[in-house]
Amino acid sequence: MRQAEQHRTQRIGWLRAAVLGANDGIVSTASLIVGVAAAESSRSSVLVAGMAGLVAGAMSMAAGEYVSVSSQADTEGAELNRERGHLNGNRETELAELAAIYEKRGLDAELARQVATQLMARDALCAHARDELGITETMSARPIQAALASAGSFVVGAALPLLLVLLVPVYALVWTVSGSSLLILALLGFLAARAGGSPVWHSIGRVTFWGALAMALTAGVGALFGAIL
């Protein structure tokens, strides 16, 4: 018996949140550490700033993902309720609408109506949600899953540069944290590309470029204000 194909689109929801969280955790925390360290601060000051950034960032990511994905879920729910009302009020019009969608995809008129009739007989709302509204189980919004994935991956990403604060001499923090974070970002880009089936080097170049830019800017700000203050 042939096994069902496994498609990477099933991973889009959690993969997007996890990659975003880990990337933001590394970039924001490493940039914060580099900026404070460039101001010639003590190890304890750098560590406190990094820990504060980890907690604030994780909560911000979780709240942001939950609110945004919940808004998407609310919109999907409203659309499904509206479509349910249309089906209850004028089923024949909805049947013709679904058949027209299949005609545009290449079926002849008679076959398109047969397909629409059979699908609506089985689950009319599901058929219209998928083919008219573009709402599927794979792509549907899951706020809690997205929030947890984003916050958890942020903490993991942020913990890596924070660990270096404890292990590396303060005078070497700027270059050590920057270099190590860029290597981790490159690895993250590689893993995300492999998991999602996208071009590897494009993904690596994208995350490392923006990470390097963020750290360079914060290092410059830290050095500038450290010299002034």
- For residue 115, what are the CA distances in angstroms to 96, 126, 128? 11, 14, 12
The string of pLDDT tens digits covering residues 122-176 is 878 788 877 777 776 655 567 787 788 888 888 988 998 899 898 888 888 888 8
- Can you give the pLDDT at residue 141? 61
- Per-residue pLDDT reduced to its tens digit, 41-97: 788 888 998 899 899 988 988 888 888 888 877 887 787 788 788 788 888 888 888
- Percentage of the chain beyond pLDDT 70 is 86
pLDDT of residue 13: 52
Coil, helix or strand for 157? helix
Tell me, what amino acid is at 121?
Answer: A
pLDDT for res 88: 82
Considering the entire predicted model, what is its pTM?
Answer: 0.66
Return the pLDDT at 66.
Answer: 86
Query: Which residues, other chains included, contact 149 with Cβ-Cβ below 8 Å and sequence gap of 6+?
Result: 14, 17, 18, 21, 65
**Average pLDDT of span 100-113:** 85
- Please give the DSSP secondary-structure letter assigned to residue 155: H
Contact indicator for 128, 80 with CB cutoff of 8 Å: no
Give residue 32's pLDDT band: very low, low, confident or very high (50, 70, 90): confident
CB-based contacts of 198, cutoff 8 Å, min separation 6 = 192
User: CA end-to-end span of the chain, whole Å?
Assistant: 72
Has residue 12 got a pLDDT over 80?
no
Other CB atoms within 10 Å distance of the CB of residue 9: 13
Percent of the chain at pLDDT > 90 equals: 2
Q: Which pLDDT band holds residue 1 (cuts at 50, 70, 90)?
A: very low
Return the SS3 of 42: coil
d(CA 82, CA 65): 26
